[in-house]
């Protein structure tokens, strides 16, 4: 943390030049000149910043300021998830608990933002999920779209990205761990509808109850398989 690295200096340069996501960075040669460091130094720093999505290297075009997505977090957490010690599913349980905590913690803001509104797109997603569950099908796309959609009214892009990131980790890790997925697809599908109705009618308590119902099947599946 204490040592200023070339990547730190490139970040400072982005700030001092007032560059924004999508803006073109100076060329490699210009960065060498301005920072007084070697080309290999600049290249290594750019690679690191690219991994963090702080810059975006478009080969043949140049290097741009990146969108700073949480993709790196997802990659690291997915791997940590599948690497969790032995066959205990602790890493996945941790992720599920964080998902539930974020849903609980944002409840009041979500309910406030949706109270008195109607949300045809979210309702359609719920209908799709319920129908697919009745056919014994899982519904990952609809599920993810529902959870991110619920937060989209919030004007907090970080929460939306985190919820999406942990959803991705959860979904990527689950099949690799051979968890016996609970046959409670219908309960999960319907819980989404209960969350939406509670939010639209401004009922924080009912929203909390729906979250509990929503996470119940996966929590039971993890408890059953763990030990």
Which residues are at the interface with a copy of itself (CB under 8 A)?
11, 14-15, 20-21, 44, 47-48, 51-54, 68, 70, 72-73, 75-77, 79-80, 82-83, 85, 91, 93-95, 97-98, 100-107, 109, 156-159, 162
- 214 neighbors 192 (Cβ within 8 angstroms): yes
Parallel/antiparallel/unpaired status of strands 62-65 and 55-58: antiparallel
Compare residues 102 and 182 and give the one whose CB is closer to a copy of itself.
Answer: 102
Lookup result for tokens 């910043």 = 49
* Smallest gap from residue 112 Cβ to a copy of itself (A): 13
* Smallest gap from residue 118 Cβ to a copy of itself (A): 25
* Smallest gap from residue 159 Cβ to a copy of itself (A): 6
Compare residues 185 and 198 and give the one whose CB is closer to a copy of itself.
Answer: 198
* Smallest gap from residue 146 Cβ to a copy of itself (A): 18
Rg of the chain taking only CA atoms, in angstroms: 22
Compare residues 63 and 107 and give the one whose CB is closer to a copy of itself.
Answer: 107
* Smallest gap from residue 104 Cβ to a copy of itself (A): 4
Compare residues 139 and 166 and give the one whose CB is closer to a copy of itself.
Answer: 166
* Smallest gap from residue 124 Cβ to a copy of itself (A): 26
b/e for 81-95, b at 16 or more Cβ within 10 A? beebeeeebebbbbb
Compare residues 132 and 162 and give the one whose CB is closer to a copy of itself.
Answer: 162
**Side-chain half-sphere of 116: how many Cα atoms within 13 Å?**
2
Residues 6+ apart with CB under 8 A from 197: 206, 210
What single string gives the DSSP state of each residue in 5-30? PHHHHHHHHHHHTT--TTPBPPPHHH
Compare residues 27 and 212 and give the one whose CB is closer to a copy of itself.
Answer: 212
- 204 neighbors 109 (Cβ within 8 angstroms): no
């Amino acid at each position: 943390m204490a040592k200023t690295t070339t990547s730190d200096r490139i970040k400072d340069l982005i700030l001092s030049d007032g560059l924004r996501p999508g803006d073109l960075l100076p060329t490699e040669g210009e960065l060498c000149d301005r920072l007084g460091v070697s080309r290999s130094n600049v290249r290594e720093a750019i690679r690191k910043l690219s991994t963090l999505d702080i810059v975006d290297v478009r080969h043949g075009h140049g290097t741009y300021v990146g969108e700073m997505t949480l993709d790196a977090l997802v990659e690291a957490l997915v791997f940590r998830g599948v690497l969790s010690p032995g066959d205990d599913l602790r890493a996945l349980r941790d992720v599920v608990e964080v998902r539930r905590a974020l849903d609980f913690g944002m409840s009041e803001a979500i309910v406030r933002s949706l109270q008195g509104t109607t949300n045809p797109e979210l309702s359609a997603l719920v209908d799709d999920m319920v129908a697919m569950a009745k056919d014994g099908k899982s519904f990952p796309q609809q599920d993810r779209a529902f959870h991110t959609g619920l937060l989209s009214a919030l004007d907090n892009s970080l929460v939306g990205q985190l919820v999406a990131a942990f959803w991705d980790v959860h979904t990527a890790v689950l099949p690799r761990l051979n968890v016996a997925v609970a046959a409670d697809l219908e309960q999960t599908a319907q819980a989404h509808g209960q969350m939406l109705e509670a939010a639209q009618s401004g009922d924080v308590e009912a929203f909390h109850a729906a979250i509990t119902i929503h996470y119940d099947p996966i929590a039971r599946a993890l408890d059953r398989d763990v030990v």
